[in-house]
A and B are shown apart, each in its own frame.
Chain A
Amino acid sequence: MKIDATNTHYRDLNRLIREAAHQSTRRLELHNVFGQRYIGTNLAARTRIDIFGTPGNDLGAFMDGPTIIVHGNAQDGCGNTMNDGRIVVEGRAGDITGLAARGGNIFIRDDVGYRAGIHMKQYDGKRPALVIGGAAQDFLGEYMAGGVIVVLGLTPRADKRHKASFIGTGMHGGVIFMRGPVNQRQLGEGVRIGQLDSKDRRLLARLVGEFAHLFDYDPQEIMTSDFVKLTPMSLRPYGGLYAH
């Protein structure tokens, strides 16, 4: 089913989407999207939504199941507090991608902005994953409590080295895999750089495989590179701070 979003306010657009999902429409195409917010928010259906244009902020916020494919760039808050489902962006995304996500997968082909994966969490079998094909800016994985973030640095802009600072500040769970070297100075306090073990490599290979399939890369080539693993040193990074 096709919806032309020209001159349609996000309230109306989202209502149309929700109605379609309730009627068990399996595939939806949205055309001429320019900045409408909250697309796919709070949807629990197993629908696939293809977006042509630039969706607005909070794409897929609180989403619980659908698949969203953006044929273009996304803005801020992509996958905000997502519970389940999948978001694929054939381009870049803005700030706070995957904020507080607790399940589902987000694949961004190019770069992301600040605070990607901030406050991601995992619980009881649900483990969210955020895979970024290009570079991330500062505060990647801030406050992370669970889940997986992968940064591949494949775009020309990403260069040979990651340039983000304050990676993982406040991290107390989860793991970040980065392709290529990272300096300890770029990391928040309490974040440890380590090597991947076999379990890590299997997880990484699965995510890289999906990413490569989506965006037409060779997964083997990506996997031959060196990866580092970032994990928190403690579950209670600030335990020693307070006097009682």
Chain B
Amino acid sequence: MPGVYFTTTEFLDDAKSAAKDRGMPGIRMIALPADTYYRSRSTQAELQPIAAAVFDQMVDDLVRPLTADEAKPSQIQKQHENTNIKVTGSDYQDAYQNVNDLFLDSRWADGLPIVPPTPVLVKAMLAATTRSPDEVVGQVAPKNGTATVEKIAVNSVMAGAKPEYFPVILAAMDGFVDKHFDLTHVQASTGSFTPVVIVNGPLAKELNFNSGIGMLGHGWRANSTVGRALRLSLLNIGQTWPAVNDMALTGRFEAYTFFTFAEDEAKSPWEPYHVALGYKPEDSTVTVATSGNPLVLGGGAVAPWTAQGILDTVAARTSNVVFGWVHSQTYILVLHPDCAYELGKLGYTRKSLQAWLYEHTSIPYEKLLAATSGFGHASEIDEINQSIADGRIRPDRAQIFKNALKPGGKVPIVQSPDDFHIVVAGGSPGYSLLFSYPGPNWANETKKITGATLTKAGH
């Protein structure tokens, strides 16, 4: 079926890149002028001259016979990326600088200097895992670059990670490339989402991950370089670049190291997060998810707060917004230790807390009826019905939603209470955080850390 694709001048490179990635480089595209289209798109009257200006081109693109190359383009050839690179300098310092210039100018880095990934350093990184250098961990969106253990090691060296951290990085990459994780959306969306990386189990302590004051900030090598190794791996293996095929409009709030932290298991009144997911206490895990900027809850050191008040705020804020795609929603509620302690004292278990959140964030049917979707033209109710129909809301949960979509019903904002992930971390007195991701597909995976050779945990 012949077609033509409208985009804007801002997204033309991205559109061409995506078309090539999917094997159709010849798709005929028309780029609307971004400087006028976005300002005019609210009304048809304002769009009239823009549409009129491109109309003849659109017709021509639909009727103009194909060129030979459009009809049968030559097969896109594989670019070989496995050859080592030799960089010279007048002395070591000069060569080091030249490596950095090469990597930064070639868009193989995040804009900050890197540690040159020499074979010796990469070998040392690889020695930290029993996993084979040639093992294919998976394909990294959006270009489906092949992530081998060795490629991830190269990027981990560049990030300045200690070899001991490497099994954590590998497990996180296992999560990102999982077939259930929508990495394309996370990597490329205009929504500017930032991955969340949570480390649990004895390895978190052994590697000195920060789970207290400043857990999302600078200063801890494990948090910073594990996050940066993932940043560089996704950038280089998935081959993304801002404004080319990473269209995060504002950039990401933790662009260089992501939201990387550990749970403060010792200060939690409940079993560790990974144990609640079914792992053994002696296992170490890494959870990867994604989020917009987190909602900050509580008064910190300067204002009064109560634990119940924090829960009430979560309920008020999440049930008062357009939520779009209920089938894929997860929330990560990071409670600071004092808040978790107070909730424990109030008698909450992790399960009962999840149940409370599930119930109190549900939206009255009548309120939903009046809401329009945050995306497209369908109503929220249409969106949910569509998700039931196409199986995105799991069959075992579908009836709950069908029952709720009636007068007097209360419609959950997640598929099940387990989609509220409760983690304890942060300073004292603290702020709690709510990470959420309004994406159309799932983006939350936990993986066990295995194969560690340099640490007591993580085997």
The answer to whether A and B come from one shared complex is no
A-side residues, CB < 8 A to B, are none
B-side residues, CB < 8 A to A, are none
